[in-house]
């Protein structure tokens, strides 16, 4: 299913984050933080997969930078 081992690991990471967020107490802060965390973790994997589409070195670097930025955002929590 996955061409690169990191793609699978990022997919599983995003899945685990979603499961974690479902188990949180429901309050305004948790809802907003969960939404942002889910978006960030999903974006990491999506941008990594797009980076591997081989559309050129500049696009590869750009997508990897976005992926890295999103991963940093998910670690703030």
pTM across the whole model: 0.75
Q: Could you give the percent of the chain with pLDDT greater than 70?
A: 94
Question: How many CB atoms lie under 10 A from the CB of residue 11?
Answer: 19
Residue found by looking up tokens 């907003």 in the block: 32
pLDDT score, position 55: 79
DSSP per residue, the chain: --SSHHHHHHHHHHHHHHHHHHTS--SHHHHHHHHHHHHHHHHHHHHHHHHTT-S-HHHHHHHHHHHHHHHHHHH--
Q: Where are the domains of the chain?
A: 5-75
pLDDT score, position 49: 85
Judged against a pLDDT cut of 80, whether residue 74 lies above it is answered with no
């Amino acid at each position: 299913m996955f061409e690169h081992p990191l793609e699978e690991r990022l997919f599983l990471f995003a899945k685990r984050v979603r499961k974690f967020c479902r188990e949180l107490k429901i309050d305004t802060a948790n809802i907003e933080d969960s939404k942002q965390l889910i978006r960030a973790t999903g974006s990491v994997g999506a941008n990594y997969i797009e980076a591997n589409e081989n559309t050129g070195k500049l696009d590869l670097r750009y997508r990897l930078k976005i992926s890295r930025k999103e991963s940093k955002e998910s670690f703030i929590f």
